[in-house]
Chain A
Amino acid sequence: RKEVEQDPGPFNVPEGATVAFNCTYSNSASQSFFWYRQDCRKEPKLLMSVYSSGNEDGRFTAQLNRASQYISLLIRDSKLSDSATYLCVVYGGGFKTIFGAGTRLFVKA
């Protein structure tokens, strides 16, 4: 079993749609959680941290469920510029940051 698993997609949605991604992780001792965004042939960039209480940044909402060991990302009112790969990232301590393979999102006009 992979340490961090994501649905690879692709998710094809029209502009203005709401789309949600989930991610599961295997190490129950994991300490912190993030979503990164990666454009084609570019480096990953931090989108947001994920907390148990949930956190929101504009159109983006992230949630952590420690009991079920999953993380979610909700994007509301999708824009063309949201098209990218979204990487679920888990930090387990000891300098080990584990990336999921990513979920690809295409937003169409």
Chain B
Amino acid sequence: DAMVIQNPRYQVTQFGKPVTLSCSQTLNHNVMYWYQQKSSQAPKLLFHYYDKDFNNEADTPDNFQSRRPNTSFCFLDIRSPGLGDAAMYLCATSSDGGGAEEKLFFGSGTQLSVL
């Protein structure tokens, strides 16, 4: 009965080969987020969707794109992965995104390796 589901759990790609990570949710939450977390570092917000509105963080590289075809699904596309993109990618949701109680529900993450 997982509520935020990420696939795959582990992803290996080659340097420069496009890769897509997927996230789905059964919570019917308005907001979906993608975070990047490197070892021993804080999760770093890449972008978020409020419904269909896409919001990019200013320092998110152009190499990272996202799609949200419907409420339940969100994808992270890395167009040309570099070695520095190896990380855990975390998808999260929240119900409103604008209230004081901004609780996030995370998927189990996708650990990306770049060879």
Chain A residues with CB under 8 Å of chain B are 4, 8, 31-32, 34, 41-46, 49, 87, 91, 93, 95-102
Complex Cα spacing A95 to B47, Å: 10
Q: Choose from B42, B45, B100 the contact partner of A87 (Cβ within 8 Å).
A: B42
Of the four ranges (under 10, 10 to 19, 20 to 34, 35 or more), the interface on chain B belongs to 20 to 34
Complex Cα spacing A12 to B43, Å: 24
Enumerate 15 A-B pairs (CB-CB under 8 Å) in ascending A order: A32-B100, A32-B102, A41-B111, A43-B90, A43-B107, A44-B90, A44-B104, A46-B104, A49-B101, A95-B31, A95-B55, A98-B42, A98-B45, A100-B42, A102-B42
Q: A97 contacts B45, CB within 8 Å?
A: yes
Complex Cα spacing A32 to B102, Å: 7
Whether A97 contacts B100 in the complex (CB less than 8 A), given A8-B40, A42-B109, A44-B43, comes out as no
Chain B residues with CB under 8 Å of chain A are 31, 33, 35, 40-45, 48, 50, 55, 88, 90, 97-98, 100-104, 106-109, 111
- Chain A neighbourhood of B41, CB < 8 A: 101
Whether A43 contacts B42 in the complex (CB less than 8 A), given A32-B102, A97-B102, comes out as no
Complex Cα spacing A32 to B88, Å: 25
Residue pairs across A and B with CB atoms within 8 Å: the count is 57
Q: A46 contacts B103, CB within 8 Å?
A: yes
Complex Cα spacing A101 to B39, Å: 10
Q: B102 contacts A91, CB within 8 Å?
A: yes
Q: A43 contacts B109, CB within 8 Å?
A: yes
Whether A95 contacts B101 in the complex (CB less than 8 A), given A42-B108, A43-B90, comes out as no
Complex Cα spacing A8 to B41, Å: 10
Whether A31 contacts B48 in the complex (CB less than 8 A), given A44-B43, A95-B31, comes out as no
Q: How far is the CB of B37 from chain A (nearest CB, A)?
A: 8
Whether A4 contacts B45 in the complex (CB less than 8 A), given A41-B88, A95-B97, comes out as no
Complex Cα spacing A74 to B74, Å: 37
